[in-house]
Structure 1
Amino acid sequence: MIVSHNEIVTMVNKAFLGMQREVGEADLIASMVAEL
């Protein structure tokens, strides 16, 4: 199964938002996405 990079980022973002992670982890994901 081939998944585009943007789809992976979107899925990760939705997963973290859905679980309502701690602020520190959300910031980590945001910085990772910003680097892409």
Structure 2
Amino acid sequence: MRVLEVAIAGFGGVWRATTDLLLARRIAIGASMAPTFA
């Protein structure tokens, strides 16, 4: 069952990295668009 734990941990790491990347992109887009709405 060690392989399953490693697989879950690896997937969690990828998921977290993807989420952080999308969040950072959303923040960057929001920051670049904020002056136009202000």
After TM superposition, the score normalised by the length of structure 1 is 0.47
**Higher-Rg member (1/2):** 2
Q: Which has the higher contact order (CA 8 A, sep 6+)?
A: 1
**Which structure dedicates a bigger proportion of its chain to helix?**
2
